Structure 1
């Protein structure tokens, strides 16, 4: 029952889908732990949108609708995190100044540039991915990108609790072996891509985690909701780039 409640809380926290039930407060503190499973649901919808849309419009337009679907579903939550992250980390000289900039609701030039590069690069990478693998690439990238939140939460302290909209979604005492349990949906990707190429996707997942964790530890000594949003978009972008390399579109 608790697992169902926390999954429903994840839907409330990370999408604009209304849930007509009252959920206990502790369900929301576990909401972030349901992101890998939520990634399967969102990725599955993306998969279906692309397949259906590609029957009635060009492949490029089908990709466009599949890519903007998660953004519309979340209200641009992760994209907003990426923009704030870029503004703060590139515009601030100290940890406190970086955090201050990330709190600013206005988007600066670094944020705009990050959105253009990541979103535009994602579209181009998918466009150059083989047609019969585009839907698989969409699903894999969505699952892995949402899953990266788990090890980040388990290895870095969450900063700026007071006044943060993400505060209520962060689990407490989330360390050690507990980090591995919410990642069980990753095991299901072996059904999606049952060959050695899946190892490369997991390798990219690990490398992105190590790089982002190191960067956050060095620059902030912790993380915020914006950092998690940026990690999701950067992991997604990296998976699209790998898909383009593994499944190059024939000329």
Structure 2
């Protein structure tokens, strides 16, 4: 029981501000991968519920702006760092050690700035559209799918690790962990919109996984920045899929 609690608090403290960050043994941190989707569920519930029950209803731009700000606050903007760093490396067309020097450079380059603008504005626009349609469930699910995408990416990259925090996560991305998150994704996606939502979610997710895996293969390894970028891709994909699904009739969403 203590191990379960420790792995959960390790995950919560690493991914959010909802638990104090602490030092854990490597095997505890690796086991935290089991909880990524659950932490996404907690984040989605905390951030979306106030708006779902009526706070600022009818003002979707303000709702979207507040939700995006809340997400950045609760997660410390953790995943956006990897998103920007990876785009800097990708956009540079560098290879070998030079690619990793760019990715690990704490300074943002032009491609990183462009990625942040596109990603943040994309989330704001997608949240606005879903709030306007009162399709709160798709926004809630984005937090689950983002963390699940991190697990899937870690699973694909577990044999291409580099030293660092990302290696511990990839070590914990076992087949049972990946299957658990796949079941979680399919369960919530089906409840929200059946095949009309499951299909675009899986397609968009697969595109992201393919690109991340291909980039890792090209440069011989994957690190924590790949995992952070996977979270952002997953969140964007879940909300974009929600907008696509809203074009169909007969949806079930809340």
CA contact (8 A) 1:10 1:34 kept: yes
Alpha-carbon distance between aligned partners in 2 of 1:48 and 1:185, rounded to the nearest angstrom: 20
1:135-188 Cα distance to aligned partner (Å, 9 max, x none): 112112111111012222222235331xx344444425x555553235443254
SS in 1 for 2:130: coil
- Residue in structure 2 matched with residue 150 of structure 1 by the alignment: 151
- Residue in structure 2 matched with residue 234 of structure 1 by the alignment: 233
SS in 1 for 2:67: helix
Alpha-carbon distance between aligned partners in 2 of 1:120 and 1:70, rounded to the nearest angstrom: 14
- Residue in structure 2 matched with residue 189 of structure 1 by the alignment: 188
Question: CA 1:135 to 1:168, structure 2 compared with 1: closer, same or farther past 3 Å?
Answer: same
TM-score normalised by the chain length of structure 1: 0.84
Q: 1:159 aligns with which of 149, 158, 161?
A: 161
- Residue in structure 2 matched with residue 102 of structure 1 by the alignment: 103
Structural mapping, 1:73-92, within 5 Å: 73-92=74-93
Alpha-carbon distance between aligned partners in 2 of 1:187 and 1:5, rounded to the nearest angstrom: 27
2:198 corresponds to 1:199: yes
Shift of 1:95: 3.2
SS in 2 for 1:160: coil
Question: CA 1:131 to 1:69, structure 2 compared with 1: closer, same or farther past 3 Å?
Answer: same
Q: CA RMSD in A?
A: 2.7
SS in 1 for 2:33: helix
1:84-136 Cα distance to aligned partner (Å, 9 max, x none): 11111212420321111111111111111101011102211232336344311
1:169-217 Cα distance to aligned partner (Å, 9 max, x none): 4425x55555323544325405741522232223332333233222322
Query: Which blocks of at least 5 consecutive residues in structure 1 are unaligned?
Result: none
Question: CA 1:20 to 1:209, structure 2 compared with 1: closer, same or farther past 3 Å?
Answer: closer
Greater shift in the superposed pair: 98-107 or 182-191: 182-191
Alpha-carbon distance between aligned partners in 1 of 2:228 and 2:61, rounded to the nearest angstrom: 26
Shift of 1:18: 3.1
Question: CA 1:179 to 1:26, structure 2 compared with 1: closer, same or farther past 3 Å?
Answer: same
Query: Which blocks of at least 5 consecutive residues in structure 2 are unaligned?
Result: 248-254
